Structure 1
Amino acid sequence: MARSPKPFQNESVSVAFVAEKLQSVVGIEISALNDADPELRLVTESNQHRPGLALAGFLDLFTHHRIQVLGNTECRYLEHLSAEGREAAFSKLLVFNIPCFFLTNGNLLDAPLLDRATEAGVPIYATGLPTMEFQARLGDFLSDQFAIQQTVHGALVDVYGIGLLLTGSPGIGKSEIALDLVERGHRLVADDVVIATAKGDSVLMGAGTDIAQHFMEIRGLGLIDVRAMFGIRAIRFQKRIEVVVHLSPWDKEVEYTRLGMVDSFHDILGVQLPLVKLPITPGKNVTVLCEVIAMNHLLGHYGYNAAEVFAERLTNKIRSKKSGAGPDRGIDYFEHDYE
């Protein structure tokens, strides 16, 4: 298979981007408490920090480069201090280059503290969500933004709920097979360029690019818009990549698997994916084979392996040492049914 492009990941995102996406995509209601410009502050990692010890004066291990989350504990600590003490404790944090603060559980800060943050250029936001829920949702969003990604040349199609990544040399027919699958009721995720994103150690998500989206290039026909032509039911914007189907011209010198459909794996971003090597010959119905690959993967997920079942039957037959003129019929009696 062709060498894959090098992985890449975001080095930073702006606080303005994070705040806007938390509202429009993640669905968290937040409000800005001061006038600091969030475009000027950058988030450089997915981890967050709760600065309780830093507010108390211990700054040796203060991870100031992370988003700072002020929950009930930090806010109650500030409230028990005098007005001068609160300002002094909070000002110690603003000496550092902090991306932003998020206050949870509906907590607020006094106006003098907000003014100090504005002077330092540090945005402050508030949300009514409990701290643990907010951190979980923020952490998931940031993990996605800083996840390792890689572009893969191929077509990604949702077939019976299984994400099939069709790969192969240019002109082998990946787009045509994907189009045929869409016509049969399956859903296109991306064609030609798939952005693979690692989510943890064993999950690989796929999506298209912001430019191509659900356009397809069919050689001899040109560009088509799958969404406009087949409707919203024919597309998905994301799908887990679960099986790689590599298409190649039939080579009589190559021995292809005949008992087990999957005999090897393909590595993308450290995730091992089942690999099916599918030889292409004139007249072969590759679309149906792709459907069978998806259904076979589903059966395997639920513990059924056709090759193992057949091998067990064959072994039992050999062990029985039954001799005869030929193989036994699969049915003992035709019951006068001659249709």
Structure 2
Amino acid sequence: MNDVTTKDVREQFNLKLVSGEEGIGRHILMSDISRPGLEMAGYFTHYPANRVQLLGKTELSFFAMLKVSDRIDRMRKLCTPDTPAIIVCHDMVVPNELKNVSNDFHVPVLTTKIPTTKFSSLLTNYLESKLAPMTAVHGVLVDIYGIGVLLTGKSGVGKSETALELIKKGHRLVADDSVEIRQESENTLVGNAPKLIEHLLEIRGLGIIDIMTLFGASAVRTHKRISLVIDLELWDPEKQYDRLGLEEDKMKIIDTELTKLTIPVRPGRNLAVIIEVAAMNFRLKRMGVNAAEEFSKRLDAVINQTEESAN
């Protein structure tokens, strides 16, 4: 999980710091946002103090109707040691009570011109992306016909060479060797390359090559949702491989299960073409067309017809 502070949010959205500067380095631990409407009315029983607090026209217009003593009391309760930041939207004037209390308790108060609802959506999306669970996988991530395909397998099996052939065919590289994966939402895994090796591909005997320089910007992507895992393994003559495609293995990454195909590698097999077809067939299955199941049904029908004729 990435580390997000109030300072990061300030720089991301170009916010103006009004008060509480000493707390600008506070950590934001969750993506949920709070609009403290009930709190302005004095109800703090279930106040989510550890969330970013957004104040808009509704909250501040009600706050302006309160007595001075109540205003100070509300702001003292609003500014807790756990509160990462208070953001005032619509570029509204920050109440003096909030400025004074935030300076006392070192809670940063920032302002933005963006309307409250829109800013809440933007901030939630940003925090969900940054705070999403993350892991790293050894492999190659390629965008093939819009399908994010993660190539895995032992070192030296030919993942990078296969990716290079796919790139020459017009597909796009996302990451080679190390793929950073984050779960942005339920059943949604997004992969990207570490900044150090972004757009780079390692080919044994050739070295490091820059894919964007060699093939252009259309040959790379910064990130891609992962839909399919293809595991490359050296051909084992003693192992029985799936020949119909009826069986579907799964690979679990973080909390998401992905469809996994195992493709045996041996001289003479065109892996790039096989992986292209695997991606197209995966898309076809998602559209409801399953060639293996159709063949199985036809085979069952022929067998049943033969048995009926025999009887």
Q: TM-score, normalised by structure 1?
A: 0.84
For residues 285-318 of structure 1, the C-alpha deviation after alignment (integer angstroms, 9 at most, x for no partner) is 0000010001001111110001112222223333
Separation in structure 1 between the aligned mates of residue 285 and residue 186 of structure 2, nearest angstrom: 21
Aligned residues of 1:158 and 1:189 also touching (Cα < 8 A): yes
Separation in structure 2 between the aligned mates of residue 145 and residue 189 of structure 1, nearest angstrom: 19
**Aligned-CA RMSD value:** 2.2
Aligned residues of 2:212 and 2:219 also touching (Cα < 8 A): yes
Instruction: Confirm whether residue 296 of structure 1 aligns to residue 281 of structure 2.
Output: yes
Instruction: Confirm whether residue 124 of structure 1 aligns to residue 93 of structure 2.
Output: no
Structure ranking higher in helix proportion: 2
Separation in structure 2 between the aligned mates of residue 165 and residue 16 of structure 1, nearest angstrom: 34
Instruction: Confirm whether residue 80 of structure 1 aligns to residue 104 of structure 2.
Output: no
Aligned residues of 1:55 and 1:92 also touching (Cα < 8 A): no
Instruction: Confirm whether residue 281 of structure 1 aligns to residue 272 of structure 2.
Output: no
Give 1:247's aligned amino acid.
L
Give 2:12's aligned amino acid.
K
Q: Give 1:252's aligned residue.
A: 237
Q: Give 2:38's aligned residue.
A: 53
Aligned to 1:117, the other structure's residue is in SS state helix
The 3 A distance-change label for structure 1 pair 95 and 254 is closer
Aligned residues of 2:250 and 2:258 also touching (Cα < 8 A): yes
Q: How does 1:223-262 map to 2 (within 5 A)?
A: 223-260=208-245
Q: Give 1:94's aligned residue.
A: 79
Aligned residues of 2:81 and 2:105 also touching (Cα < 8 A): no
Separation in structure 1 between the aligned mates of residue 220 and residue 153 of structure 2, nearest angstrom: 22
For residues 95-134 of structure 1, the C-alpha deviation after alignment (integer angstroms, 9 at most, x for no partner) is 5442111122443323453244234322222234333332
Separation in structure 1 between the aligned mates of residue 81 and residue 162 of structure 2, nearest angstrom: 55
Give 1:55's aligned amino acid.
M
The 3 A distance-change label for structure 1 pair 283 and 38 is farther
For residues 55-74 of structure 1, the C-alpha deviation after alignment (integer angstroms, 9 at most, x for no partner) is 33333332222111112332
Equivalent of residue 305 in structure 1, options 269, 276, 290: 290
Q: CA deviation at 1:18?
A: 1.6
Aligned to 1:176, the other structure's residue is in SS state helix
Aligned to 1:42, the other structure's residue is in SS state coil
Q: CA deviation at 1:79?
A: 1.1
Separation in structure 2 between the aligned mates of residue 157 and residue 74 of structure 1, nearest angstrom: 47
Q: TM-score, normalised by structure 2?
A: 0.91
Separation in structure 1 between the aligned mates of residue 29 and residue 114 of structure 2, nearest angstrom: 24
Q: Identity of counterpart residues, as a percentage?
A: 37
Give 1:292's aligned amino acid.
V
Q: CA deviation at 1:221?
A: 0.8
Separation in structure 2 between the aligned mates of residue 318 and residue 256 of structure 1, nearest angstrom: 24
Aligned to 1:33, the other structure's residue is in SS state strand
Aligned residues of 1:33 and 1:114 also touching (Cα < 8 A): yes
For residues 194-243 of structure 1, the C-alpha deviation after alignment (integer angstroms, 9 at most, x for no partner) is 01111222111111101111111111111111111111100001101111
Aligned to 1:300, the other structure's residue is in SS state helix
Aligned residues of 1:263 and 1:275 also touching (Cα < 8 A): yes
Instruction: Confirm whether residue 173 of structure 1 aligns to residue 164 of structure 2.
Output: no
Equivalent of residue 6 in structure 2, options 15, 31, 55: 15
Separation in structure 1 between the aligned mates of residue 179 and residue 50 of structure 2, nearest angstrom: 32
Q: Give 1:269's aligned residue.
A: 254
Q: How does 1:19-168 map to 2 (within 5 A)?
A: 19-23=10-14, 30-34=15-19, 36-37=21-22, 39-168=24-153
Q: Rg larger in 1 or in 2?
A: 1
Give 2:7's aligned amino acid.
A
Aligned residues of 2:20 and 2:105 also touching (Cα < 8 A): no
What are the ranges of 5 or more consecutive residues in structure 2 without an aligned counterpart?
none
For residues 24-43 of structure 1, the C-alpha deviation after alignment (integer angstroms, 9 at most, x for no partner) is xxxxxx43333614543221
Aligned to 1:40, the other structure's residue is in SS state coil
Q: Give 2:169's aligned residue.
A: 184
